């Protein structure tokens, strides 16, 4: 799957619009909803916030809730992205020993750090239902989305998003 530039630019403008009208968890929730609705190969979209040594789910959109509302930074693909301060793409989660399973339908994952003044403060986590669902165009697009999200992540509060949020 890909995110061509002709779709990336208007989508980034929509993210900017959301962030111009909403703040905190409401903004993050709407960004998750928009990304899932706009890109069919993004069936579950979550945004986590770094809180101490954990990642706390700040917002999400998908068919079902994840049990992973708090993830130790020392574990999983989500933790790896924070520890290594880089985007991580897993082509096949069944071949990834560090993958923390959420849904039986998940076959691939992309996790993109959100930075504030160079420090990782959160991340975008997207599960895909196909092997190799994400490529360099997804990485480039989502890294541009992540650049915009730091203020909303900081204002998202200190409690994980409730199931069904």
3-state helix, strand, coil in the chain (%, to 5): 40, 25, 35
pTM of the model: 0.91
From first to last of its 165 residues, the chain has per-residue pLDDT tens of: 688 888 999 999 999 999 999 999 999 999 999 999 999 999 999 999 999 999 999 999 998 888 888 899 999 989 999 999 999 999 987 777 676 667 667 789 999 999 999 999 999 999 999 999 999 999 999 999 999 999 898 877 665 555 555
pLDDT value, residue 114: 97
Q: Which CATH number describes the domain made up of 5-154? A: 3.30.450.40
pLDDT value, residue 99: 63
pLDDT value, residue 159: 59
The sign of the torsion formed by the CA atoms of 73, 83, 91, 16 equals positive
Q: Which residues have a Cβ under 8 Å from the Cβ of 90 and sit 6 or more positions away?
A: 77, 96, 99, 108, 109, 110
């Amino acid at each position: 799957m890909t995110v061509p530039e002709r779709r990336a630019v208007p989508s980034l403008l929509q993210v900017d619009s959301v962030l111009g009208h909403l703040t905190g968890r409401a903004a993050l929730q709407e960004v998750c909803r928009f990304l899932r609705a706009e890109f069919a190969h993004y069936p579950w979209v979550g945004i986590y916030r770094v809180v101490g040594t954990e990642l706390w789910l700040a917002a999400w959109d998908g068919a079902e809730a994840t049990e992973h509302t708090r993830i130790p930074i020392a574990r999983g693909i989500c933790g790896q992205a924070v520890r290594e301060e880089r985007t991580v793409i897993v082509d096949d989660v069944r071949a990834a020993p560090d993958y923390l399973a959420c849904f039986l339908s998940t076959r691939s994952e992309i996790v993109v750090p959100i930075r504030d003044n160079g420090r990782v403060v959160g991340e975008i986590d997207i599960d895909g239902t196909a092997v190799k669902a994400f490529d360099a165009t997804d990485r480039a697009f989502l890294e541009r989305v992540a650049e915009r999200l730091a203020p909303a992540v900081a204002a998202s509060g200190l409690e994980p998003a409730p199931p069904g949020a």
